[in-house]
């Protein structure tokens, strides 16, 4: 059994959830796993099986609104790592991120063994330099499992490698009513990934006409959007739930409608089918909800494919605006029927 391992995934909630199987692999061979997360992923980190403690730091080269790099902030981070006293670290990154700045700081904090994926020469910053072919679109979950295995933490044979959260989840029946509803999550972190709000309104109305109950979810900064989408036809939970409560809401759904955003991965982590309105600015082969019943909507060969754009570079945003509410409703009904058939 290894000692204390620091696993780092200082990204958004979805990125942290996708790291879950790799973190379980580490936990199976370590005395303790300490997870370094950013402010947007810390709540997801708290839900991951195998994590003993969560350290929080707004990483200046990762965060979308990065703080300035200052000696005081850096020293506070080094002190936090020293207090955690990890014996080794595994740094998880996306293909467009470098692990080396964090590896340097972890070396300064005294971490003796560090593993990461790195296409760049790491010198003495890494003990395990895992090199992958980034031109091949591998699901992020499997990419991170590959790093964990290279670092000496293979996934145990009795772990299926799917996304998962800690259970039991909070009771949310007072918010949603009985299970079997459809969750519609209209918010995304980047405009290039957004389906038009008016199209969500149409979808909610058509789902209601089809006899389905609808719950609309969103964060505190999305209350205006969720109120507009829910109208008088759905339960509006915008800004109401904690992240753990959101997981429970998704767990009670028969299907979830969402873009490429953290709650879509959270739905996968609780095993709920997903209708994914997926803009191809990043590859669906890497980032679509993992190992859950899935219908992928959106033109994956649109001109914006692979651009990583936050603002759509194509007039009219056709990759998603060409998706109709009727297509979404049909996908929901097909997934819900299939899910019911597997559970009866």
pLDDT digits (tens, 9 = 90+) for 187-215: 998 899 999 999 999 999 999 999 999 99
Q: What pLDDT does 336 receive?
A: 85
Closest CA to 263 of 11, 9, 12, 14: 14
pLDDT of residue 185: 98
For residue 341, the model assigns a pLDDT of 57
Q: Which two tokens stand for residue 333?
A: 């009904």
**pLDDT at residue 329 above 60?**
yes
* Residue boundaries of the structural domains of the chain: 2-150, 173-343
Q: Which two tokens stand for residue 306?
A: 């692979």
Alpha helices in the chain (DSSP H): 13-18, 20-27, 42-46, 71-84, 100-108, 140-150, 173-176, 197-209, 223-230, 243-251, 262-269, 284-287, 318-321, 325-343
Residue with tokens 């739930």: 241
| Res. 318 pLDDT band, cuts 50 70 90 | very high
What is the pLDDT, as a whole number, of residue 312?
Answer: 87
- For residue 243, how far is the Cα from the chain centroid? 12
**Residue 340 clears pLDDT 80, i.e. is over it:** no
Residues 29-55 have a mean pLDDT of: 98
Whole-number pLDDT of residue 1: 87
* Euclidean distance between CA atoms 142 and 238, whole angstroms: 32
- Answer yes or no: is pLDDT of 61 > 80: yes
State pLDDT tens for residues 8-24.
999 999 999 999 999 99
Q: Which two tokens stand for residue 86?
A: 């990890």
For the stretch 44-59, pLDDT in tens is 999 999 999 999 999 9
Q: How would DSSP label each residue in 147-214?
A: HHHHTT-PPPTT--------SSPPP-HHHH-SS-EEEEE---SSGGGPPPHHHHHHHHHHHHHTT--E
What does the pLDDT read at residue 343? 59
Q: What does the pLDDT read at residue 281?
A: 94
CATH superfamily of 173-343: Glycogen Phosphorylase B; (3.40.50.2000)
φ, ψ of residue 277 to 5 degrees: the values are -85, 90
Show the tokens assigned to 62: 């990762």
Query: What is the DSSP code (8-state) at residue 271?
Result: T
CATH of domain 2-150: 3.40.50.2000
Average pLDDT, the chain: 96
Q: Quick check: do 2-150 and 173-343 share a fold?
A: yes
């Amino acid at each position: 059994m290894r000692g204390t391992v620091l696993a780092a995934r200082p990204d958004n909630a979805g990125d942290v959830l996708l790291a879950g199987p790799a973190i379980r692999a580490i936990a199976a061979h370590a005395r303790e796993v300490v997870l370094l997360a950013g402010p947007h992923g810390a709540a997801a980190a708290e839900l991951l099986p195998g994590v003993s403690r969560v350290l929080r730091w707004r990483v200046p080269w990762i965060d979308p609104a990065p703080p300035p790099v200052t000696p005081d902030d850096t020293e506070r981070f080094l002190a936090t790592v020293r207090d955690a006293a990890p014996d080794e670290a595994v740094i998880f990154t996306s293909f467009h991120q470098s692990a080396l700045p964090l590896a340097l700081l972890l070396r300064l904090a005294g971490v003796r063994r560090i593993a990461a994926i790195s296409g760049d020469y790491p010198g003495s910053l890494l003990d395990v330099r895992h090199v992958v072919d980034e031109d091949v679109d591998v699901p992020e979950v499997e990419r991170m499992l590959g790093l964990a295995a290279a670092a000496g933490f293979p996934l145990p044979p009795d772990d299926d490698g799917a996304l998962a959260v800690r259970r039991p989840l909070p009771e949310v029946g007072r918010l949603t009513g009985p299970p079997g509803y459809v969750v519609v999550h209209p918010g995304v972190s980047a405009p290039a990934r957004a389906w038009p709000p008016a199209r969500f309104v149409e979808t909610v109305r058509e789902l209601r006409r089809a006899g389905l109950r609808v719950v609309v979810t969103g964060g505190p900064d999305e209350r205006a959007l969720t109120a507009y989408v829910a109208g008088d036809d759905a339960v509006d939970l915008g800004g109401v739930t904690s992240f753990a409560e959101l997981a429970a809401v998704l767990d009670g759904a028969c299907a979830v409608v969402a873009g490429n955003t953290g709650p879509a991965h959270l739905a996968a982590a609780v095993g709920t089918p997903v209708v994914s309105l997926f803009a191809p600015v990043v590859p669906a082969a890497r980032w679509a909800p993992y190992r859950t019943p899935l219908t992928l909507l959106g033109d994956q060969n649109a001109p914006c494919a692979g651009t990583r754009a936050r603002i759509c570079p194509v007039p009219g945003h056709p990759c998603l605006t060409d998706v109709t509410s009727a297509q979404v409703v049909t996908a929901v009904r097909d997934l819900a029927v299939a899910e019911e058939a597997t559970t009866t």
